[in-house]
Structure 1
Amino acid sequence: MRVERSAEEVLHYLADFANTVEWDPGTEACVRLDGGPVVRGAQWRNTSRFRGRLTELTYRLERYDPGRLVFVGRNRTVTATDDIAVRPADGGGTLVHYRASLRFHGFARLAAPFLRGEFEGLADAVAERLPRVLTGP
């Protein structure tokens, strides 16, 4: 995704996972669990709605490098990894590469192939909303 903001601004905004309520259509709430500056190890409780049900994951910022963020969210049925790369674009603005992956545990693994289409729909919605939010005022 290309956005008309500096890479530094984009990285700073995305590093605070509480901002997912603004750009992830599935997120209903996301609350920081610790205090202080957003650094590697920071944690959030993310409440999302999927298929009409609320689910909570505890996310941890596993990597915070110039140009790269990796968040890992966990609960008893799934581990979600959000890997975000941010770099200046030729001619101005910023390129954002966002990759989300899910690994189901236990019996939930059996449902994964049947849920793929719905997860892809959520990914499409994020890809539509995130650039608007990042480019907005």
Structure 2
Amino acid sequence: MISVERTVFVDRPPGEVLRYLADFGHTPQWDPGTESCTRLDSGPVAEGACWRNVSRFRGRRTELRYSLEHYGPDRLVFVGRNRTVTATDDITVRASAPGTVVRYRASLRFNGLARLAAPFLRAEFERLADAVAARLPVVLAGP
């Protein structure tokens, strides 16, 4: 398994930040690896909501079906799956005057033969996490 974690500060109230991040359809705006993320169901964003996420990693496109597994007052947990990987995005927000601290943790558990590649992919995932940490505050600072 590979886990990466980054913490960023944003000058927005925690409630606004949580509501924005709860809609996984926004990931193309703040995750440089995501090409598209389309809601598969309808209604308010709540636990059980699902998205089709298409990402590019090391020149290859991959598709995962994500669901919002936990939507709490200060924490979101998304789980994405396909036949080779289970991805968990665990996001917490907490007030920190005058804004919000966001902790983003992504964990990837590879299935089958893909598990053998995990040690060789860590550096690439670290770079991607750095890119998310650089982009997320810029996006969240917007209007």
TM-score of the superposed pair, with normalisation by structure 1: 0.98
Which stretches of structure 1, 4 residues or longer, exceed 3 Å deviation after superposition? none
For residues 21 and 51 of structure 2, the distance between their equivalents in structure 1, rounded to whole angstroms, comes to 13
Q: Which amino acid aligns with 1:115?
A: L
Partners of 1:43 and 1:81 lie apart in 2 by 14
> How far is 1:87 from its partner?
1.0
User: Which of 44, 59, 63 is equivalent to 1:56?
Assistant: 63
Shift of 1:136: 1.6
Question: Displacement of 1:38 after TM fit?
Answer: 0.2
Per-residue CA deviation, residues 56-103 of structure 1 (Å, 9 max, x unaligned), is 0000000000000000000000000000001110x2100101100100
Instruction: Note the residue ranges of structure 1 that are not aligned, 5 or more in a row.
Output: none
1:3 partner letter:
V
Amino-acid identity (%): 72
Q: What residue in structure 2 maps to residue 19 of structure 1?
A: 26
**2:48 aligned residue (18, 41, 47):** 41
1:67 maps to 74
Q: Which has the higher contact order (CA 8 A, sep 6+)?
A: 2
Match of 1:133 in 2: 139
Matches of 2:132 and 2:95, distance apart in 1: 21
CA RMSD in angstroms, aligned pairs only: 0.5
The CA distance in 1 between the partners of 2:73 and 2:115, in whole Å, is: 34
Q: Describe the SS at the equivalent of 1:107.
A: helix
Alpha-carbon distance between aligned partners in 1 of 2:34 and 2:80, rounded to the nearest angstrom: 13
Stretches of structure 2 lacking an aligned partner (at least 5 in a row): 1-7
TM-score, normalised on structure 2?
Answer: 0.94
SS of corresponding position for 2:102: strand
- Which residue does the alignment assign to 1:118? 124
**1:48 alignment partner, SS class:** strand
